[in-house]
């Protein structure tokens, strides 16, 4: 399974659209780009494998593998990147401002249901992140 995240960068956050097989699945919010600095920047553009992970805080979720210079980059629910994210990706149902959205848990369920079904079949899941330019 291949997801594609197309980003637009803003000073106060990064907004994106997540596609599955060319179809819009949901939107995303992230921190602004700050040269890949740990916990204050969105991750660099590229292709990353997504794997299952469990934590008491986020339950079952997805984690990006092999992000240069970073670890524990998760895909989890959040509606305000600056207040709730530390370098992770939050899917949202609707973008409302730079790095802000609504309906994150609904959007997260869409991604997780598709990804976990693929992983259950022992197939890999990837996300390609790139700019809208």
Q: What is the pLDDT of residue 44?
A: 97
**Residue pointed to by tokens 């992970």:** 53
Instruction: List domains and CATH numbers for the chain.
Output: 2-131 (2.40.440)
> Which comes out higher in pLDDT, residue 133 or 51?
51
Per-residue pLDDT of 38-67, as tens digits, reads: 999 999 999 999 999 999 988 889 999 999
pLDDT of residue 49: 98
pLDDT of residue 133: 80
Burial of 126 (0-12, 13-18, 19+ CB in 10 A): middle
pTM: 0.95
pLDDT at 68: 95
Quote the pLDDT of residue 62. Answer: 97
Parallel, antiparallel, or unpaired for β 125-131 and 2-10?
A: parallel
73-115: per-residue pLDDT in tens?
A: 999 999 999 999 999 999 999 999 999 999 999 999 999 999 9
The pLDDT of residue 105 is 95
Given a contact cutoff of 8 angstroms between Cβ atoms, the answer to whether 74 and 89 are in contact is yes
pLDDT of residue 104: 97
* pLDDT given at position 58: 84
């Amino acid at each position: 399974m291949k997801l594609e995240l197309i980003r637009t960068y803003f000073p106060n956050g990064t907004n994106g659209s997540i596609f599955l097989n060319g179809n819009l699945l949901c939107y995303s919010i992230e921190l602004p780009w700050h040269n890949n600095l740990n916990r204050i920047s969105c991750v660099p553009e590229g292709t990353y494998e997504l794997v299952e992970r469990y934590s008491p805080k986020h339950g079952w979720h997805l984690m990006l593998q092999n992000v240069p210079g970073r670890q524990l980059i998760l895909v989890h629910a959040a509606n305000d990147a600056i207040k709730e994210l530390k370098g992770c990706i939050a899917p949202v149902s609707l973008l409302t401002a730079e790095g802000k959205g609504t309906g994150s848990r609904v959007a997260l369920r869409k991604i997780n249901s598709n990804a976990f079904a693929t992983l259950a079949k022992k197939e890999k899941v990837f996300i390609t992140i790139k700019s809208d330019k």
